Structure 1
Amino acid sequence: MTAVTDQDHTERPDRRGDTSCDDDRPERDDREHGHPGEDGRGAAGPSGEGGHDTAGGPLREGRTGPAGPARRTGTDASPWDDGLIARRMTGNGGEGPFAGAESRGPGPQAVPPLAYDTTLRLRLEALRELVGSSRTRLDNRTLAEAGRVLQEAAVRRRLSGQHTVVAIAGATGSGKSQLFNALAGVPISETGVRRPTTAAPIACSWSDGAASLIERLGIPPRLRRRPLQATVDADERLRGLVLVDLPDHDSAAVQHREQVDRVLALVDAVIWVVDPEKYADAMLHERYLRPMAAHAEVMFVVLNQIDRLPGEAAEQVLDDLRRLLDEDGIALGEYGEPGTTVLALSALTGDGVGDLREALARFVVERGAPARRISADVDVAAARLWPVYATRRRAGLSEEAREEFSDRLADAVGATAAGEAAERAWLRNANRACGTPWLRLWRWCQDRGDPITGRQLLRGQPDEEITARQRVEQAVRTVADRASAGLPAPWAQAVREAAARGAQGLPEALDALAVRAGLPPGRPPRPGWWPVAVLVQASMTLLQFVGGLWLLGQIIGVVPPNLGVPVLLMVIGIVGGPLIEWSCRMAARGPARRYGQEAERRLREAAAGCGRARVLDPVAAELLRYLEVREQYGRVVGVGAGAGTVTGVGTGARIGGG
């Protein structure tokens, strides 16, 4: 069975007067009902040779027509018959209709699968881990290209590593099908003035074992060919080449352009065929060449139809083509440097075709095109992921930002006011213990209606509570903005969401914390000198009572008159009591200040710990995840873990971009 093009529903007569499909109906009916055909078998056997396929090309040499040897059976089939060749059925020794089955020779030879080098394997593994760890942060559309590259790399690795699939692409009228035929040494792909001429990809394999590769391209058996045997024998280095002729990339038929885009994403290399009229076409450069700049090492750019250019015009056009490719960012493989090979030739006259065949032979012998294509695909996928994984700004939480956040929470919970209240409570307690009884009685009457301030903090008024809540919310927004500044948008959003989740219930937790950690229950602790001061103050009071009773006894006449001693005792008690109280107050300032500072510190630490557990730790966890994917992204790009650094991850992070 020979191939027919997709747009042909009626078989075109070949150059030797082949019959149409209408003449095929009786024989088809015979086959459908199990009647033997003219070759004596229930189904038509392999066809006679020497005819042309539907693309206008003669079948490979060695097959015979009416005057040639008898048709071969499966036992004497050529080693080329690996199921890739669709064969034409004949009857009575002449060319007949097209059968619907392939004639297969011996089974396809086993070929080793493609092997990637260590660097590419590590990059693919890093990309796989990067995609897996990013699915909760990035949408599927962002990761779609990376996922496609991983899938195609895995599929290509399981297929033949001894074959190189090269597509020939070009615009309408560029002569790519003519070049395809020239390389194959036989007219396989149909050429002509009708546009578009090529309606579906046609594959030509120079050796066995490429069936799975061609099936991956979606090319049916009827569109698979073999080159002229003399062409294969002329250059053994081309064994392993699979050449694919694509439809026009600028075809008016949408399905043709879709096929071009689909196959270009799967082949190992591509030959771009341009002509002197369309080599600067904006569609070619903007839609294909510029986006494929990373694939320069697996591209050929061929200026065809140089036979139409007079004198030195071909060299001038070729130089301008090189200039345009350089502007597209495509590295040119000149002076031994890796890059795109640029050639000028004429597929019609054969001028320069040998140079292209020689370049293709070196390219195929290297067996490195599939891996270079996958590596370039990884480069492109990594470049597209750059905005969501890396920026050139420094990002993260500084020590200053964390301290400011803790201070804001401490202010919201009233740590400073709590420390001052603790200091006043300590002083008041000291005054009560060391003050004179008369002063204590007066203060007791004054403070009788007031609540005890030394045992617990007073709860704020509603407007104060609202202000405290607003301070907490402002503190969370500020630290989230500082932590997310400089991060790529998805990770910045994740940091802000983590902070927002932690802020839920934070004001209430701080209020409960203020009650628990503000002041310990009971009275403040007393220093060692406190009992002595209390005893001395009691002695002063006792002296006042003794002096007073003595004077009273003298007035009554119970005690003999002697004013000096009782007056002296009363003066000592009256003056000594306030003096001792003042001395105790001076001595109590230091311990009271330390007590207040300790209460403030304890409340600040409690507020900071609550804020760290609820906000800073989740934010730091997000920054750490970003660091991990950033380092993974660096391995994908091939720059190791030097893409960024993080410090202080436990309580916040600083990320250095570059």
Structure 2
Amino acid sequence: MTATEGHGASHPAADRPRQTWDDGLIARRAQQRAEGRAVRGGAGAEAADPTDGRDGADAAPGGPWGDDGCLGDRGPDGAAAVGATGGTGPGPGFGQETATDGRTAGGRGAYGSPSYSPYGPGARGFVTGALRPRLEALRQLVGLSRTRLDGRTLAGAGRVLDEADARGRHPLGHTVVALAGATGSGKSTLFNALAGTQLSEAGIRRPTTAAPLACAWTDHADGLLDRLGIPMADRRRPAYPYDPALRGLVLLDLPDHDSAAAGHRERVDRLLGLVDAVVWVVDPEKYADAVLHERYLRPLAGYAEVTFVVLNQVDRLPGEAADQVLDDLRRLLDEDGLALGEHGEPGAAVLALSALTGEGVGELRDMLGRLAAECGAAERRLAADVDGATARLRPQYVADGGSVGLSERARAEFEDRLAEAAGAAAAGQAAERAWLRDAEWACGTPWGRVAQRGPWGVRGARGAQGSLGRSSATTGGTRSTRRRVEDAREIPGARAKAAAVEAVTARPAVEEAVRTLADEATAGLPGPWAQAVREAAGWGGRGLPDAIDEAVAAATAGRRPARPGWWSVVASAQVALLLVQVVAVVWLVGIVSGLFGGPEWWLPSMLLSGAVAVSAGLACGCGVVARGPARRYGRMAEAQRREAAVACGRTRVLEPVGAELARYREVRAQYVIAAGGS
């Protein structure tokens, strides 16, 4: 098939050499209108529809294309309707023909083909596909990670989101395809063959293509071409009448990616990041070029579904050489990791053609027509962008470890270490011993009290509350160091306050507990999130010993247990027994001295012995009975101190660490959605 087969006769203006006066815009329009009237009259084309809303001057033969093949030289077009959609969803006119060019739905185009609207039934937006939740998840992912990851790490994902927003403002009914390749590969010749007319200059001078050219089979491509940065003068139209099978296609002829001219490679790289699909044009001499494979094909392996690789100039290969070169090209593409759709599976299309003779051009045209009719290239391209962004971000959100988070065992061990550092167990033992001492004092024999502490009245004045009060405020050990924790925070309108707090917390033990907890919490976390968890634990652990000291002091200050009632009963009994002993002693002394007569001496002796024995037995029995309440009081004191220490650790360390882990789990869930469930 020749380059013009299937397109009809080319426009006379495209075959006529330009005249010197044809440089002005008004002159070109006048000439175009004159030639257009002749062409329509001679070819028997349809007369302009009187209902199309345009007068004779505006109904130029180029129709919506404007003058001399430039898409931009016309009035209001589909770009206004494109902007009406807003965001990524269809606007109010979705599914209806736009009225900006005066045509109604179901009308016919300027070239005798059915009019095409990017908002018709064949067009669709991101709202109908699976891409929208992935983009939203990626947006949430970036937002949640801004304070945790470096800005350069998130830059790629941000560019993908910006590109999705920009592309979503234009209908997916347009498919932008770029012809890319090396110097001398025949891109411009293939561009002309697909357009059906001479639009791009082709020759032996290198580089031939200095600026990207665009050819659009649609009336509403101005918005897309403005976004691509294609100037008005470089926008062309296909051959008349244009092929309806390619409607919606926007074809670009890019400069050479290996051009020595300044700026060509930068233009190519920029446009390759914006187009929906790419046709890589290679020739038998440069198809194995390392620059092509290492710089473009290998990094873009994830875009196989929107990639075409064509071996041009096969007319120069004799016999079976074309098949051999094509097989070798497939081998190189397979080594690049580019999936090939050879048996119907998704992947890049590879074919051989000759743009000069037209061999194979029809097959490529059919492929591009199907691609444009599917209206899915833009979404597949953006899906590949999201795949690439999530693949690059994977080390930041996914680690090779097992389950992530703090286990109940790790939390319990942390609380146990804090309780041990605060001396909870020692405080409980001290409280138990203090209870037993006070019970012994309250229920013991009077003579024992005198022997232990001197006169009974001295100890009795202090009462049992003395040792219990002290035991509840100490750890039970012999801590000799005391320090003052100064609260020097300035409060407006008030003086700085200072509070003397006993240093009861072991700082090294607290620091070790925080480090161990951080190690447990960061197991299996990616580097940035592990660092965030460690920082949260470190900030909370800095003032944790002081906070525990203050909490313990506040929890134990002024809190003394009530004196058991049976202590008073026993104490009264001991007093009564003491009186009996005194009476017996006086009686016995009186009998011995002869002051008293009457019974024998053995009666007061038995009374004295019985009173002493009962008093001692009562004291011993009370000591045994007091062990149970003493243990309960010791456990209560231990639990009180433990709760104070654990509450501080929970507030200052566990909760911040848990918040970081919860943020990571939320981000991880968003990453799974953005990555397509991987």
Partner Cα distance (1:157, 1:114) in 2 = 11
2:29 is paired with a residue whose SS is: coil
Equivalent position of 2:151 in the other structure: 140
Equivalent position of 1:121 in the other structure: 132
Matched, 1:82 2:101: no
Partner Cα distance (1:73, 1:46) in 2 = 13
Equivalent position of 2:161 in the other structure: 150
TM alignment of 1:187-336, pairs within 5 A: 187-229=198-240, 232=242, 235-336=243-344
Matched, 1:578 2:608: no
Equivalent position of 1:499 in the other structure: 537
The residue type equivalent to 2:29 in the other structure is P
User: How far off is 1:323 after superposition?
Assistant: 2.5
Equivalent position of 1:545 in the other structure: 582
Partner Cα distance (1:62, 1:453) in 2 = 117
User: How far off is 1:83 after superposition?
Assistant: 4.5
Structure 2: unaligned runs, 5 residues or longer: 1-13, 42-54, 79-100, 102-116, 484-502
Deviations 1:601-631 (A, max 9, x none): 1211221122111111111111111111211
User: How far off is 1:16 after superposition?
Assistant: 8.5
Matched, 1:512 2:512: no
Please, which of 457, 465, 474 is the counterpart of residue 458 of structure 1? Answer: 474
User: How far off is 1:420 after superposition?
Assistant: 0.9
The residue type equivalent to 1:180 in the other structure is F
User: How far off is 1:336 after superposition?
Assistant: 1.7
Please, which of 410, 417, 425 is the counterpart of residue 419 of structure 2? Answer: 410
2:250 is paired with a residue whose SS is: strand
2:180–2:187 contact (8 Å) kept in structure 1: yes
Please, which of 661, 669, 678 is the counterpart of residue 631 of structure 1? Answer: 669
Deviations 1:469-490 (A, max 9, x none): 2222222222122212222222
1:172–1:195 contact (8 Å) kept in structure 2: yes
TM alignment of 1:34-45, pairs within 5 A: 44-45=27-28
Q: TM-score, normalised by structure 1?
A: 0.80
Matched, 1:609 2:647: yes
- The change in CA–CA distance for 1:255 and 1:63 in structure 2 (over 3 A counts) is farther
Equivalent position of 1:369 in the other structure: 377
User: How far off is 1:286 after superposition?
Assistant: 2.6
2:468 is paired with a residue whose SS is: coil
User: How far off is 1:119 after superposition?
Assistant: 1.8
The residue type equivalent to 2:424 in the other structure is A
TM alignment of 1:417-432, pairs within 5 A: 417-432=426-441
Matched, 1:434 2:443: yes
Partner Cα distance (1:486, 1:83) in 2 = 62
- The change in CA–CA distance for 1:175 and 1:599 in structure 2 (over 3 A counts) is same
Deviations 1:251-284 (A, max 9, x none): 2345111111111111111101122233233322
Matched, 1:182 2:193: yes
Partner Cα distance (2:603, 2:645) in 1 = 61
The residue type equivalent to 2:474 in the other structure is L
Partner Cα distance (2:16, 2:276) in 1 = 37
1:418–1:518 contact (8 Å) kept in structure 2: no
2:32–2:61 contact (8 Å) kept in structure 1: no
User: How far off is 1:86 after superposition?
Assistant: 6.0
Give the CA RMSD over aligned residues.
3.3
2:179–2:278 contact (8 Å) kept in structure 1: yes
Partner Cα distance (1:157, 1:300) in 2 = 24
Equivalent position of 2:105 in the other structure: none
1:250 is paired with a residue whose SS is: coil
- The change in CA–CA distance for 1:608 and 1:353 in structure 2 (over 3 A counts) is same
The residue type equivalent to 1:413 in the other structure is A
- The change in CA–CA distance for 1:571 and 1:332 in structure 2 (over 3 A counts) is same
Partner Cα distance (2:601, 2:75) in 1 = 145
2:60–2:66 contact (8 Å) kept in structure 1: no
Partner Cα distance (2:666, 2:586) in 1 = 86
Structure 1: unaligned runs, 5 residues or longer: 1-13, 32-40, 51-58, 65-71, 88-100, 644-658
Partner Cα distance (1:270, 1:405) in 2 = 58
The residue type equivalent to 2:596 in the other structure is V
| Higher normalized contact order (CA 8 Å, seq sep 6+, divided by chain length) | 2
The residue type equivalent to 1:174 in the other structure is S
Equivalent position of 1:650 in the other structure: none
- The change in CA–CA distance for 1:422 and 1:256 in structure 2 (over 3 A counts) is same
2:69–2:237 contact (8 Å) kept in structure 1: no
2:521 is paired with a residue whose SS is: helix
TM alignment of 1:389-400, pairs within 5 A: 389-393=397-401, 394-400=403-409
The residue type equivalent to 1:175 in the other structure is G
User: How far off is 1:425 after superposition?
Assistant: 0.9
1:85–1:102 contact (8 Å) kept in structure 2: no
Equivalent position of 1:90 in the other structure: none
Partner Cα distance (2:557, 2:586) in 1 = 44
TM alignment of 1:464-475, pairs within 5 A: 465=503, 468-475=506-513
- The change in CA–CA distance for 1:103 and 1:468 in structure 2 (over 3 A counts) is closer
Partner Cα distance (1:15, 1:86) in 2 = 12
- The change in CA–CA distance for 1:467 and 1:278 in structure 2 (over 3 A counts) is farther
Equivalent position of 1:443 in the other structure: 452
2:170–2:224 contact (8 Å) kept in structure 1: yes
Equivalent position of 2:360 in the other structure: 352
2:72–2:222 contact (8 Å) kept in structure 1: no
Partner Cα distance (1:325, 1:285) in 2 = 8
Identity of aligned residues (%): 56
1:84–1:211 contact (8 Å) kept in structure 2: no
Partner Cα distance (1:453, 1:85) in 2 = 107
Structure 1 segments (4+ residues) deviating >6 Å: 14-20, 446-449
The residue type equivalent to 2:187 in the other structure is K
Partner Cα distance (1:45, 1:176) in 2 = 28
Partner Cα distance (2:469, 2:354) in 1 = 100
1:316 is paired with a residue whose SS is: helix
1:229 is paired with a residue whose SS is: coil
2:188–2:200 contact (8 Å) kept in structure 1: yes
Partner Cα distance (2:216, 2:546) in 1 = 74
1:78–1:105 contact (8 Å) kept in structure 2: no
Partner Cα distance (1:502, 1:341) in 2 = 58
2:147 is paired with a residue whose SS is: coil
- The change in CA–CA distance for 1:255 and 1:154 in structure 2 (over 3 A counts) is same
1:203 is paired with a residue whose SS is: strand
Partner Cα distance (1:528, 1:214) in 2 = 95
2:179–2:254 contact (8 Å) kept in structure 1: yes
Instruction: Report how many residues are paired.
Output: 577
User: How far off is 1:467 after superposition?
Assistant: 7.0
Partner Cα distance (2:40, 2:73) in 1 = 13
2:166 is paired with a residue whose SS is: helix
